[in-house]
């Protein structure tokens, strides 16, 4: 038991050490240049000629974006300056996506950071996208580099989309591995995760489509941060004796699971579906996934996408009550309730331009009344469906490019972290899992509160 606690603690510390070490590594590469650096900086304005900005090794999409920015008088000088400054800092060697002077891909650091991302997401079922973003945007310096091209610049948009999809690849793989592992361990409530995904996938495109130009809550992102603080405080309250009194089933199941884990008896007493029309569930999920793909890839005859999304959501009302047992304790829920929960979470995320994965956890613990031991896998399944749709839409529909070398190294790290997470989380008491989530929720709340009220975040990604 002590060894497993030490292993878990070491992974947590690894994430922090990696962040500090990588920041130092990037700082050295971006600021501590040879003695000739001042001269290079002074000569920057006259440095790279226009043809040198595009190389044959770049992805075609990037070449097109750079040419478009050079052809637009509004962005041309900014693009030349951004590349020149990058070359002055880092040299002519191609960096991210093959751009001369861009931050270089640090594969070893990427792998180590991804282990942390995979572990934290697979342990609590949230914060994978945020932690992946911390790595790509802040630690690896890609956020500042994208900003150097100015807002609206085609190159800025391309790099930003590449970062976003890179984050999604990491979260998607972690969600896939976590869902599979937790299902085998009997710690994934399949119908509950699927119903959350139905509402989440439908709402992720339907809400922005129906409210575009009518409702915009981005100005209130600071209040969203405060809401996250409130959620964290509510979870703390739920850990008190008074809060636990209303969670008798979850408490009993958690206690039985902790005892079974100590005795090496867990999977056989895992989730058992007693009642529920799962055939309708799969049909509902298929409808909303096809609707999202239609919206993103076809974009015409939109009535088809609307009908499919509506059909998927309505079908959950015909699933009736889902009942399941976990370590002898019975739980039940109406199928349409998690669908509506996923829809509301997707609406909030779409309005504010944030990821909604970390909102699934409070929903599953507070509304669905699940013990934390079932939350990570169930949340991962809901996230997985959304990530598959989003990655496919970005890369096939919009042709977004990524740095496959960096992604490849990170996916190895994600695999390692996501395999460790489900196996170590069962030895962490439920209160321990909640405290991990609460600490990270305070971090997220601080980020969005300061970003909303101050105009910038005081914690990474800035």
DSSP 97-126: GG-BTSPPP-HHHHHHHHHHHHHHHHHHS-
pLDDT confidence of residue 110: 93
pLDDT confidence of residue 225: 87
pLDDT confidence of residue 260: 83
Average pLDDT over residues 7-21: 42
Structure tokens at 421: 């997470």
The number of angstroms, rounded, from the C-alpha of 172 to the middle of its chain's C-alpha atoms is 8
3-state secondary structure of 45: helix
∠ CA 435-258-182, rounded to 5°: 80
* Rounded CA separation 63/72 (Å): 14
**Closest by CA position to 324, among listed 289, 376, 368:** 368
pLDDT confidence of residue 299: 83
- How distant, in Å, are the alpha carbons of 97, 110, 199, 389 from that of 160? 12, 18, 27, 19
- Backbone φ/ψ region at 299: left (φ over 0), alpha (ψ -120 to 50), beta: left
The number of C-alpha atoms within 13 Å of 266 and in the hemisphere containing its C-beta is 23
DSSP code of residue 319? S
3-state secondary structure of 36: coil
Are the beta carbons of 392 and 170 closer than 8 angstroms? no
Structure tokens at 78: 């900014």
The pLDDT confidence band at residue 398, using thresholds 50, 70 and 90, is confident
Are the beta carbons of 347 and 321 closer than 8 angstroms? no
Phi–psi pair at 331, nearest 5 degrees:
-125, 155
Are the beta carbons of 161 and 400 closer than 8 angstroms? yes
Are the beta carbons of 304 and 324 closer than 8 angstroms? no
Q: Which residue has the higher pLDDT, 111 or 13?
A: 111
Domain boundaries, the chain: 187-401+417-454
Block residue for tokens 């050079």: 70
pLDDT confidence of residue 88: 85
Average pLDDT over residues 412-426: 95
Which residues lie closer than 8 Å to 18 by C-beta, 6 or more apart?
A: 109, 112, 113, 116
Reported as a single tens digit per residue, the pLDDT across 184-236 is: 999 999 999 999 999 999 998 888 888 766 665 667 788 888 888 888 898 89
pTM for this model (two decimals): 0.84
The pLDDT confidence band at residue 47, using thresholds 50, 70 and 90, is very low
Reported as a single tens digit per residue, the pLDDT across 322-332 is: 999 999 899 99
Average pLDDT over residues 288-307: 93
pLDDT confidence of residue 217: 64
Are the beta carbons of 348 and 224 closer than 8 angstroms? yes
* Rounded CA separation 371/373 (Å): 5
Strand ranges in 13-70 using DSSP code E only, listed in sequence order = none
* Rounded CA separation 72/149 (Å): 13
Q: Is the dihedral of CA 189, 192, 196, 202 positive or negative?
A: positive
3-state secondary structure of 293: helix
pLDDT confidence of residue 213: 64
Reported as a single tens digit per residue, the pLDDT across 430-457 is: 889 999 999 999 998 998 899 888 888 8
Mean pLDDT of the chain: 84
pLDDT of residue 381 exceeding 50, the answer is yes
pLDDT of residue 158 exceeding 90, the answer is yes
Average pLDDT over residues 94-118: 91
Highest mean pLDDT among 7-11, 31-35, 234-238, 313-317: 313-317
* Of the listed ranges 51-60, 81-90, 253-262, 410-419, the one predicted with least confidence: 51-60
Average pLDDT over residues 75-88: 90
Reported as a single tens digit per residue, the pLDDT across 251-268 is: 899 898 888 877 776 667
pLDDT confidence of residue 238: 85
pLDDT confidence of residue 426: 87
* Of the listed ranges 164-178, 298-312, 349-363, 368-382, the one predicted with least confidence: 349-363
- How distant, in Å, are the alpha carbons of 23, 32, 145, 439 from that of 83? 22, 18, 10, 39
pLDDT confidence of residue 26: 38
pLDDT confidence of residue 43: 40
pLDDT confidence of residue 20: 40
Average pLDDT over residues 159-176: 94
pLDDT confidence of residue 347: 85
pLDDT confidence of residue 8: 44
Average pLDDT over residues 156-170: 93
């Amino acid at each position: 038991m002590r060894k497993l606690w030490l292993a878990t603690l070491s992974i947590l510390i690894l994430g922090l050490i990696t962040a500090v070490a990588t920041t130092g590594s990037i700082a050295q590469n971006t600021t501590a240049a040879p003695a000739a650096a001042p001269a290079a900086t002074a000569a920057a304005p006259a440095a790279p000629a226009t043809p040198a900005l595009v190389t044959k090794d770049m992805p075609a999409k990037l070449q097109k974006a750079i040419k478009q920015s050079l052809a637009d008088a509004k962005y041309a000088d900014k693009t030349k300056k951004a590349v020149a400054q990058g070359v002055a800092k880092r040299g002519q060697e191609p960096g991210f996506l093959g751009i001369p002077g861009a931050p270089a891909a640090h594969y070893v650091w990427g792998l180590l950071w991804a282990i942390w991302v995979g572990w934290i997401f697979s342990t609590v079922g949230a914060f994978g996208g945020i932690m992946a973003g911390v790595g790509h945007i802040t630690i690896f310096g890609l956020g500042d580099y994208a900003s150097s091209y100015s807002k609206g610049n085609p190159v800025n948009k391309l790099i930003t989309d590449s970062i976003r999809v890179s984050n999604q690849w990491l979260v998607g793989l972690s969600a896939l591995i976590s869902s599979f592992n937790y299902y085998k361990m009997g710690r994934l409530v399949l119908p509950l995760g699927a119903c959350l995904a139905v509402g989440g996938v439908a709402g992720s495109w339907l809400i922005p489509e129906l409210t575009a130009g009518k409702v915009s809550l981005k100005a209130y992102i600071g209040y969203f941060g405060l809401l996250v603080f409130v959620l964290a405080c509510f979870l703390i309250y739920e850990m008190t004796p008074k809060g636990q009194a209303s969670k008798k089933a979850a408490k009993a199941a958690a206690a039985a699971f902790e005892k079974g884990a100590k005795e090496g008896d867990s999977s056989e007493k895992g989730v058992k579906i007693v009642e529920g029309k799962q055939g309708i569930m799969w049909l509902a999920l298929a409808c909303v996934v096809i609707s999202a793909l239609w919206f993103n890839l076809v974009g015409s005859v939109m009535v088809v996408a609307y009908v499919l999304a509506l059909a998927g959501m309505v079908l959950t009302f015909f699933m009736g009550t889902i009942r399941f047992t976990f370590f002898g304790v019975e739980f039940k829920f109406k199928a349409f309730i998690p669908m509506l929960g996923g829809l509301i979470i997707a609406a909030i995320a779409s309005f504010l331009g944030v990821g909604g994965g970390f909102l699934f956890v409070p929903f599953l613990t507070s509304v669905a009344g699940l013990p934390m031991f079932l939350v990570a896998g169930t949340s991962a399944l809901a996230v997985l469906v959304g990530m598959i749709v989003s990655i496919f839409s970005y890369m096939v529909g919009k042709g977004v490019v990524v740095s496959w070398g960096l992604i490849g190294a990170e996916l190895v790290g994600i695999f390692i972290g996501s395999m460790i997470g489900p196996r170590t989380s069962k030895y962490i008491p439920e209160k321990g899992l909640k405290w991990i989530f609460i600490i990270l929720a305070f971090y997220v709340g601080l980020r969005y509160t300061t970003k909303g009220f101050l105009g910038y975040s005081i914690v990474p990604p800035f």
